[in-house]
């Protein structure tokens, strides 16, 4: 009965380094979402997966961002060549079904700081 978990909870990296953020959704949830929350900003939708497929990647901020999901479960968000503006809290959510008909359950987030 665990909720959505994310790791690491905090990540400090140097500009130019690559980082990987992990999301473990609730078991059985087919839809998985990534968001970014910057200080003083709302949530910025990045990408969603239905199963292992991401139908729309247009929300990713740049080509330095990529995401994958394997086995219909764990998802990884990768940021290459990190920049200071990437500093934010990255939130993952999962739901039984895509579209708002499935309630999204959010994880605690990964706080990323790029120095």
Give me the residue label for tokens 């394997």.
70
Q: Which is nearer to other proteins, 13 or 66 (CB)?
A: 66
- Among positions 19, 60, 109, 110, the unique one binding other proteins when judged by CB under 8 A: 109
Q: Which residue, 82 or 109, is less far from other proteins as judged by CB?
A: 109
As a whole number of Å, the end-to-end CA separation of the chain is 37
Name the segment binding other proteins (CB under 8 A); options: 14-22, 61-69, 72-80, 99-107.
Answer: 99-107
Query: Nearer to other proteins by C-beta: 1 or 14?
Result: 1
Q: Which of residues 47-66 bind other proteins (CB under 8 A)?
A: 48, 55-56, 58-59
Residue 55's contacts (CB-CB under 8 Å, 6 or more residues apart) are 48
Q: How far is the CB of 109 from other proteins (least distance, A)?
A: 7
Residue 25 found at the interface with other proteins (CB under 8 A): no
**CA geometry: angle 33, 36, 38, nearest 5 deg:** 160
- 61 contact partners, CB below 8 Å, separation of at least 6: 36, 44, 46
**Nearest residue to 17 (alpha-carbon basis) of 67, 62, 81, 87:** 81
Give contact residues for other proteins (rule: CB under 8 A).
Answer: 3-4, 33, 35, 40-45, 48, 55-56, 58-59, 91, 93, 99-101, 103-104, 106-109
């Amino acid at each position: 009965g665990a909720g959505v978990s994310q790791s690491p909870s905090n990540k400090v990296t140097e500009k130019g380094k690559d980082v990987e953020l992990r999301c473990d959704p609730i078991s059985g949830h087919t839809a998985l979402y990534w968001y970014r929350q910057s200080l003083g900003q709302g949530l910025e939708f990045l990408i969603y997966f239905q199963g292992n497929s991401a139908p729309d990647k247009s929300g990713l901020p740049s080509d330095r961002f990529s995401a994958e999901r394997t086995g219909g479960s764990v998802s990884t968000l990768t940021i290459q060549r990190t920049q200071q503006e990437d500093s934010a809290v990255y939130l993952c959510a999962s739901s039984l079904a895509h579209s708002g008909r499935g309630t999204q359950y959010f994880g605690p987030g990964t706080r990323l700081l790029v120095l």
